[in-house]
Amino acid sequence: MLPAPAQAGVFQLANPNDSVIGAPFYVTARKEDTLFDIGRFYGYGHDELKLANPKVDTWLPGEGTEILIPNKRILPSGPREGIVLNLAERRLYFYRSPNEVEMFAAGVGRDGWETPVGTYSIIEKRENPTWTPPESVRRDHAARGSILPAVVPPGPDNPLGAFAMRLSNPSYLIHGTNKPDAIGMPASAGCTRMFPEDIERLYQQVPVGTTVRIVDQPYKVGWQGNRLYLEVNALTDEVKSRPVERLIPTSIANAEGVFIDWDEVRRVQQENAGIPRLIGGRQGATSWHRLDAVF
């Protein structure tokens, strides 16, 4: 049995001007563990763990291998309310209040079936839902040699899992899954998938009418006190190679008293690990290199 998670999934912001939450930590893999096993236990999808542990084998990390759990994040920019899904990091944030947030791993739409960016709301909730595959999905499956029935009843073969919430763009749902290994990957037909235990927890907290904001923010910048952090979750070569000057908002880069180590910004961009890294701060802050050399 893996040790209990070192951090809870709910985070409090003592300073409302801060936007960095959590702290990364390491766990030791057992002989029988896969990266999927470790990820699900700590609430992380496969791709997130691979970014943080690029040299670790997915199927056989190896007994005694140290696995970094990237349990530190910068909150997506924008209103801190309702649900926010950041496609770039495949992570869903639920704001219980502007200063209290819970985060979850999410699966999103695959190439050609992308989850649409926009602001929506929850219009319907269903427990033990039936699934009526859209004709486009049935055609897609048929082209790949898989014939879908017109209706899939509740149960272990239902791709929606045990809980589903429909968005105001009604073709799209936030739901569970019968294939949890795909959480954290672009594998759906556009819906947002969650681990069964996570969707149950979220479903119980989210009322109909809750705002759902879907964003695509591969570069996130945020403050923790006087320290400035950058988090990179770049999935394509075009995004990975953006000029560093475009990664930091001018409102921060040009602000009086703010210093930025642009060499560090380049290093963090190249590392692309999905973990906030210290890149600067406000003049007069204690030596930030010594305080936070790793995280």
**58 and 187 Cβ atoms separated by less than 8 Å:** no
How many CB atoms lie under 10 A from the CB of residue 21? 21
Nearest to 58 by CA among 27, 29, 26, 88: 29
Q: 277: part of which helix (H) or strand (E)?
A: strand 277-282
Handedness of CA 152, 172, 188, 91 (dihedral sign): negative
**Per-residue pLDDT at 239:** 79
**Per-residue pLDDT at 233:** 93
Backbone phi, psi, residue 67, to 5°: -110, 125
Which residues are known to be catalytic?
Answer: 175, 191
**pTM for this one?**
0.90
How would CATH label the architecture of 82-215? Beta Barrel (2.40)
Tokens 């209103």 found at: 79
**Per-residue pLDDT at 147:** 75
**Looking at the chain, which residues constitute the CATH 3.10.350.10 domain(s)?**
10-73
Give pLDDT < 70 ranges for the chain: 1-8, 284-295
Q: pLDDT (tens digit, 9 = 90+) per residue, 276-292?
A: 999 999 976 555 454 44
**Per-residue pLDDT at 237:** 78
What is the topology classification, in CATH, of domain 10-73?
Membrane-bound Lytic Murein Transglycosylase D; Chain A (3.10.350)
**Per-residue pLDDT at 152:** 82
